[in-house]
Amino acid sequence: MSEMDLINNFIPRTDVVKCTARIGAEIRNIKLWADLPDQAIAAINGLVLEHKVIFFRDQGHLDDAEQERFALRFGKPSPYPEGTMPIFEIDSRRDIGADIWHIDWSCMDAYPKISVLRGVVIPQAGGDTVWSNTATAYLDLPLPLQRLADDLWAVHSWPGAHYRRYAEAITGTRIETEHPVVRVHPETGERTLVLGSYVEGFVGVSKYDSLRLFDLFESHITAQENTVRWKWKQGDVAIWDNRATMHCATKDFGDQRRVVRRATIEGEVPVSVDGRYSVARFKFVGRNEKLTPNEA
């Protein structure tokens, strides 16, 4: 049975409503449970690969434990820099920098492949999340820029400039990884751009030129025609391919509270177009334990 037949057998195409031409689809008439049949999980995974991010309304039956159990149907849990935890809470009462474009934990060598996000406390107005398709962004690059991107590597770090205030308040963890700017997707074979707010600079490129190259490539990733914006309701669930997207929460809800909870699934070490693997340069966990790159 082909992947398309599998999807159609368990999730009718009439229940898959595209949000935009390039990215995003709302999946209707399904309840997410950890005990869904294997074929249904495979169908959902296929839709994630096809649309990059998919959305489910009216999933208020999920609690933290069931969200975790459901997410684990897609693979092993991905540890966070703060330590292994089943559910990571993003609460607007804590400033964690979710309102900047990023790939979840791209500072790690094998950063998460899938993220499952649930809306818990949603503002009456504002608080949307925007995703971008990094595969179509790569295809939009003129050929000379594709060739440049193919050759570039970037240093992704935690806490880095964007996250330092938050990170130093709660942990002594430091992580640095060299990733190719273009990775080959292990399931689809697509070339996707690997950038976002964890990037400190490009290997072998000055800070001045790195900033300009970063802005150039990011402008293609975040172009409006390459994005989808989701207006949350309580109980919504979003599932995305963290290897082929970037995302950003909008901080436009004033003093209202916004709480979403996320589970992530362990990914693979990225591979460049010429077959080289990402390299963990440094990892320091906690305040007393240091891991070498080979142990990280």
Give the Cα separation of 18 and 259 in Å (integer): 26
Choosing from 51, 73, 104, 241, which is the catalytic residue? 104
Choosing from 51, 247, 258, 261, which is the catalytic residue? 247
Rounded to the nearest 5°, which phi and psi values hold at 218?
-65, -35
Does residue 104 have an active-site annotation?
yes
- Count the residues in the chain: 296
Does residue 156 have an active-site annotation?
no
186 contacts 271 by C-beta, under 8 angstroms: yes
Give the Cα separation of 218 and 194 in Å (integer): 10
Does residue 179 have an active-site annotation?
no
SS3 2: coil
Does residue 35 have an active-site annotation?
no
Choosing from 51, 102, 191, 261, which is the catalytic residue? 102
In our burial notation (b when 16+ CB lie closer than 10 A, e otherwise), range 94-132 reads eebbbbebbbbbbbbbbbbbbbbbbbbebbeebbbbbbb
Q: Which residues are catalytic?
A: 102, 104, 247, 262
